[in-house]
Structure 1
Amino acid sequence: MEKEKLQSFCMTLPGTTHDYQVDWQADRYHVGGKMFAMLGGDSEGKPIITLKCEPNRSEELRETYKSIIPGYYMNKTHWNSVYIDSNLPFDLLENLILHSYNLVFEKLTKKAQKQIIAK
């Protein structure tokens, strides 16, 4: 899976903003000022994408796929990290990114949601 494809997909979601966290050497993607995805590396520098996930689904995904682990440097209950160089289908990764985006979007105020949708 190509990092550029993941970055492009993240940026297609309404209201998405991007920044680069120098200390973590990671690209971060936000909606309404809240992060929903982070592209960086693990302690060995292997590329990962970290995504918010509903807790029950997190457990299920980790049990099903070896390349999905508890969120690296994040709350392990609500975040998963996925090794980008794994053989997961790209549509699964898109689905996980969208799931993360929706979880964050739904927590925004109604006013913020309307502003994002209106753009």
Structure 2
Amino acid sequence: MQKGTLREYLLSRPEAIEDFPFGPDVAVFKIKGRMFATLSCYRGVDASNLKCDPDEAQALRDIFSGVIPGYHMNKKHWNTVLLDGTVPDYEIERMVDRSYGLVVKGLRKLERDSLELAYGAELLYR
């Protein structure tokens, strides 16, 4: 998946915003102020950090050579996905959806309920 395509997909998630709190080289994607993804460069390769369930995080690392422990992140809960063609686009989209859903589930009840009412659980937690 190309960096621009992934950026568009990240921003397609309900109420997702792009921010640059770490400078112009690291795009941070948030929902209600909470980060669910980053987009940057890792050792010369475009890459994205995505939140993940700890058991699933390790399984994805075992399956895909382009999935490594989260760079500059809690390696138990985050993976870095290299955009080098080793991970299929549909799998990257699934990981984005999972990351987004995990962060939404961790929001305060009022924020989460507001999103669920506006967009439906099916869209938020796919």
TM-align CA RMSD: 1.5
Q: Please give the secondary structure, in 1, of the residue aligned with 2:60.
A: helix
Asked if 1:35 is matched to 2:35, the reply is yes
CA distance in 2, matches of 1:33, 1:112: 11
Q: Which has the higher contact order (CA 8 A, sep 6+)?
A: 1
- Cα distance in structure 2, aligned partners of 1:91 and 1:81: 16
Which stretches in structure 2 are left out of the alignment for 5+ residues? 120-126
Q: Runs of 4+ in structure 1 displaced over 6 angstroms?
A: none
For each residue in 1:21-80, what CA deviation from the matched residue of structure 2 results, as whole angstroms up to 9, or x when unmatched? 4437111100111000000012x2321100000000001010111110000000000000
1:75 and 1:24 mapped to 2: Cα distance? 22
The 5-angstrom pairing of residues 15-94 of structure 1 reads 15-23=15-23, 25-42=25-42, 44-94=43-93
| 2:5 equivalent in structure 1 | 5
Instruction: List gaps (5 residues or longer) in structure 1.
Output: none
CA distance in 2, matches of 1:10, 1:105: 14
2:107 is the alignment partner of 1:108: yes
TM superposition shift of 1:7: 0.8
Give the letter for the 1:80 counterpart: N
Number of aligned residue pairs: 118
Shift of 1:20: 1.9
Q: What amino acid is aligned across from residue 31 of structure 2 in structure 1?
A: V
Q: What letter corresponds to residue 84 of structure 2 in structure 1?
A: D
Matches of 1:85 and 1:21, distance apart in 2: 25
How far did 1:108 drift?
0.4
